[in-house]
Amino acid sequence: MTQLQYGDLIQLIDSKQRRYSMTLTEGGEFQNHNGNVSHDDIVDQNEGIVVESNRGQAFRVFRPSLSEYIIGMPRGAQVIYPKDIAAILMMADIAPQHTVFETGVGSGALSMGILRMGARIEGLEMREDFASRAKKNVSDFLGEDALERYNVHIGDAYESVPNIKADRAVLDLPEPWRNIPLLRSILSAGSIVVSYSPSIIQVKKVVEAFSEHGFRDIATEEVLHRGWHIKGDAVRPDHRMVAHTGFLTRAKLVG
């Protein structure tokens, strides 16, 4: 990895593991109650260096990972949590040769995971401000070249889908069962669809819609994320965990 340069996204991490994200700019300065840090002092340095504020507060400097960026990025809509994004990428079996139909794109969190897999996205989003925010987040983290594989249509997913052909579909909608009948026009036999829903009542309707409209091999799962505290001989599960965020339902279209 190259040394840190102007335009790079970085995180400053203090002694209490609090993280502060920013983009390095010439003459820029990070400011908080623990003092100021000049961006110029970070440029041309390696990741992992320690810089001090003018009040003597130490910060470790790293580029953020995708999951760290998603948690702190600007958003117009609630994002899918990284633990669920990872599961969706595997459940949908997304690969570089695939075109993925994604609706709605929200703030672009899932989009970034899909694009990082090398796939192309044909997205559908009802709100133009959400679509613009998603494109900005994608460009900021993955670079402008990623936008060449990221085409977001504006429209109502319950009324119609774009005139496209896709290999995979990922649904993040309040009523995904209303979109499922439309998917046959853009998918072919063997295509995989994954639907994300916070409520099990939503999942029930999704499973019924999949069954009614020619999808099989239907399965639902939930991902729980529990960290561990390890310090010397003190080894135990963390007091807090990321438990329920949503249910993931996968189905395959049959001919």
Span 68-253: which CATH code? 3.40.50.150
- Whether the pLDDT of residue 2 is over 90: the answer is no
Looking at residue 165, what DSSP letter applies? -
Round to whole Å and give the CA distance between 142 and 108.
11
Do 9-64 and 68-253 come out as alike in CATH topology?
no
Q: Is 113 helix (H, G, I), strand (E, B) or coil?
A: helix
84-133 tens-digit pLDDT: 999 999 999 999 999 999 999 999 999 999 999 999 999 999 999 999 99
Round to whole Å and give the CA distance between 172 and 75.
15
- Whether the pLDDT of residue 190 is over 80: the answer is yes
Round to whole Å and give the CA distance between 97 and 119.
6
Which two three-digit tokens encode residue 167? 């290999």
The average confidence (pLDDT) of the chain is: 94
pLDDT for 180 equals 98
Please confirm whether the linkage preceding 246 is cis (ω < 30° from 0).
Answer: no
Burial 71-100 (b: 16+ CB within 10 A, else e): bebebbbebbbbebbebbbebbebeeebbb
Round to whole Å and give the CA distance between 203 and 68.
28
Span 9-64: which CATH code? 3.10.330.20
Q: CA torsion 159→161→163→168, rounded to 10°? A: -160
pLDDT for 79 equals 83
- Would you place residue 73 in the very low, low, confident or very high pLDDT band (cuts 50, 70, 90)? confident
Round to whole Å and give the CA distance between 137 and 112.
8
Q: How do the domains of the chain map onto residue ranges?
A: 9-64, 68-253
Diameter over CA atoms, the chain? 67
Round to whole Å and give the CA distance between 103 and 241.
28
Say which residues have a Cβ less than 8 Å from residue 25's Cβ, sequence separation at least 6: 6, 7, 39
Cα angle 195, 199, 204; round to 5: 65
Q: Which run of H or of E encompasses 101?
A: strand 99-103
Q: CA torsion 98→104→107→111, rounded to 10°? A: -10
Tell me the mean pLDDT in the region 236-252.
94
Closest alpha carbon to 50 in 94, 7, 15, 3: 15
Round to whole Å and give the CA distance between 64 and 74.
14
The pTM for the full model equals: 0.90
Adjacent-strand bridge partners of 121: 100, 150
pLDDT for 39 equals 96
